[in-house]
Structure 1
Amino acid sequence: MYVDSKYVTDYASNFLKVFIEYSPNLISAFLILFIGLYAIRIINRLIRKIMIKRELDPTLTKFLADILLWVLRVLLFVTFISKLGIETSSFVAILGAMGLAVGLSLQGSLSNFAGGMLIILFKPFKVGHTIEGQGIFGTVSEIQIFVTKLITPNNQTVFIPNGVLSNGTITNYSLEKFRRADLTFAISYDSDIKKAKDLILSILDKNPKVLQTPKPEVFVKNLTDSAIELAVRPWANSADFGTVFTETLENCKTAFDAAGIVIQPYVKEVSKAAN
């Protein structure tokens, strides 16, 4: 195969001429890229420190810092290709079309993203709170952009999509400082009501984890066909709620047995068809 040396020489000469003319733009573009990446890293660290210093929520701090990081990177990339001489208007149009297509195909993910924004901004719960949502009870381990991570009492990890979580009912057991335990004891009609109430109040008074303000209450809740129902309402710090609940049940049962107060078993009524 014959190659004309003059053609090669002309091509090399033209290439060298274009390269020399274009090299300032090329050098300045890469300078902007490298300096911009370094500046973005410094700005991101500075913004994180400012938000931490102002004691913003850690999840919100990370989320805003990540959003800022990617916005600055996109702006830097557009500036970089513009400096290279690439037409940015068509590039932006392509990005817009791609964004629309991705948005339509990821509607569920966008819903979860919006839900995560609502949770982070309005704070119905925080990391460390014990909540119940979508039928799941557990402690919030992490609030991510798309999902919330819960640790259940039996140490299982559950990820709940933020979209359904933010649009559903959320019970936050840690938001308030105090919680009230609602217990019911059914005693027989042969038992002394006053004696039973005094026993329960004595047990609650002796428990250091039961708050005395508000004072615990014991009263007759209902008179059924088979038993007298006593409502027991002790208050406790949210962290002590589970302990107070179980200790009250156990201590009352022990005291009732010692005092001869009979706890009436639950009697289920069964309807019989007429003969």
Structure 2
Amino acid sequence: MEMDALMTYLKTAGAGFAVDLVAAIAIFVIGRWVISLVHRLSLRAMERAKVEPLLVKFLGNIVRTLLLIVVVLAAINQVGIQTTSLIAVLGAAGLAVGLALQGSLANFAAGVLVIIFRPYKIGDYVEAGGVAGTVDDVQIFTTELKTGDNRKIIVPNGQMMNGAITNYSAHDTRRVDLVASVGYEVDIDTVRRVLEEVVANDGRVLETPAPNIRMSAMMDSSVNWIVRPWVKASDYWDVYWGMTEEIKRRFDAEGISIPFPQRDVHVYHHDDQKAGVSRP
């Protein structure tokens, strides 16, 4: 009789546990679907409110993570595990893990600082943390950059915020810095006229601030001129490469020489008789 009662109890308990397990799985699966739906709706709502794209993705990732924790706890509770004691255990474990993962917490804090101070946003071309690229995404712990040759670089937020950040897209305009070298024999007024014409003929150059064209240095083998027009940030590289090529074309057309490094070698002949050297 005792064996029969035990078997009956096990069957009842097993059936009950099976039902709870199925319910827990259902909670997890449905919860994941709800999280995905809420995540999409929250992103759309923030986009309609014209929230900064960087903030939209960051907050979206946090909301999704928090909702996933709630769903997991609900599924565990359905199985019969007391979540109160589990949360206490997880809290203690979290403290230990937090001490061991101070770098990750620092990256999270740095991500919050990125959101608050906004040293860069999605779409900006930045140089930070020893790398350079266009900001593609900002996660809770990392920032994703895309390089000019389409490589993906994942950089910890702590590394991004731990040094100087150069944001090349922060302003609408940029100054193009070019150096043109000519020979010493070339007429100064001719060089100035050619460079001014090259700048004036490029429609992408802004009138304000005015371009700066000056003779900057007299080197060993050349006279250097600076050419510094202002352009829209989006036109920077097209103007840089295009104007460099146009300056070379105009110099060739005007017969302006571009010097090469050179040295003067002086040869001294000594009198062999006075040196006491006899030749055969």
Q: Is the TM value for this pair above 0.5?
A: yes
SS in 2 for 1:103: helix
Q: Deviations over 1:2-46 (max 9, x none)?
A: xxxx43566588889999xxxxxxxx9999999988876665554
- Give the secondary-structure state (helix, strand or coil) at the position aligned to 1:199: helix
Q: Which amino acid aligns with 1:58?
A: P
SS of 1:64's equivalent? helix
Quick one: distance in 1 between partners of 2:108 and 2:146? 21
1:168 matched to 2:160? The reply is: no
Higher alpha-carbon deviation: 184-193 or 76-85: 76-85
5 Å matches for 1:76-95? 88-95=83-90
In structure 1, distance between residues paired with 2:151 and 2:125? 14
Task: Give the 5 Å matches for 1:8-23.
Answer: 8=3
Give the whole-Å Cα distance in 2 for the aligned partners of 1:16 and 1:137: 63
Q: Do residues 146 (structure 1) and 141 (structure 2) align?
A: yes
- Separation in 2, partners of 1:157, 1:32: 36
TM-score normalised by L of structure 1: 0.76
8 Å contact from structure 2 (residues 173, 233) kept in 1: yes
Does the aligned pair in 1 maintain the 2:53–2:121 contact within 8 Å?
A: no
The answer for the alignment partner of 1:235 in structure 2 is 230
Give the counterpart of 1:129 among 124, 129, 135.
124
Q: 1:245 aligns with which of 240, 259, 268?
A: 240
Shift in Å at residue 132 of structure 1?
Answer: 1.5
Deviation at residue 60 of structure 1 after TM alignment = 2.5
| Shift in Å, 1:124 | 1.7
Structure 1 match to 2:198: 203
Give the secondary-structure state (helix, strand or coil) at the position aligned to 2:134. Answer: strand
Query: What is the distance in 2 between the residues matched to 1:216 and 1:113?
Result: 44
CA distance, structure 2, for counterparts of residue 225 and residue 14 of structure 1: 99
Aligned mates of 1:138, 1:161 — CA distance in 2: 14
Report the equivalent of 2:174.
179
Tell me how far 1:237 sits from its aligned partner: 1.0
User: Normalising by the residue count of structure 2, what TM-score does the alignment of the two structures yield?
Assistant: 0.75
Report what 2:266 is aligned to.
Answer: none
Is 1:214 matched up with 2:243? no
Unaligned ranges ≥5, structure 2: 15-22, 264-280
CA distance in 2, matches of 1:211, 1:53: 34
CA distance in 2, matches of 1:258, 1:35: 73
Q: Out of 150, 153, 158, which is 1:155 matched to?
A: 150
Gaps of 5+ in 1: 1-5, 20-27, 269-275
Aligned to 1:52: 47
Deviations 1:85-140 (A, max 9, x none): 86554323201111012212222222222222322332222222212223323222
Q: Which residue of 2 aligns with 1:188?
A: 183
SS at match of 1:257: helix
Q: Hey, what's the Cα distance between the residues in 1 that align with 2:37 and 2:246? A: 60
Q: Distance in 1 between matches of 2:233 and 2:142?
A: 26
Distance 1:214 1:10, change over 3 A: same
Structure 2 CA distance for partners of 1:164 and 1:266, relative to 1, 3 Å: farther
Contact 1:59 1:144 in 2 (8 A): no
Paired letter, 1:113 = F
Aligned residues between the structures: 263
| Separation in 2, partners of 1:62, 1:267 | 57
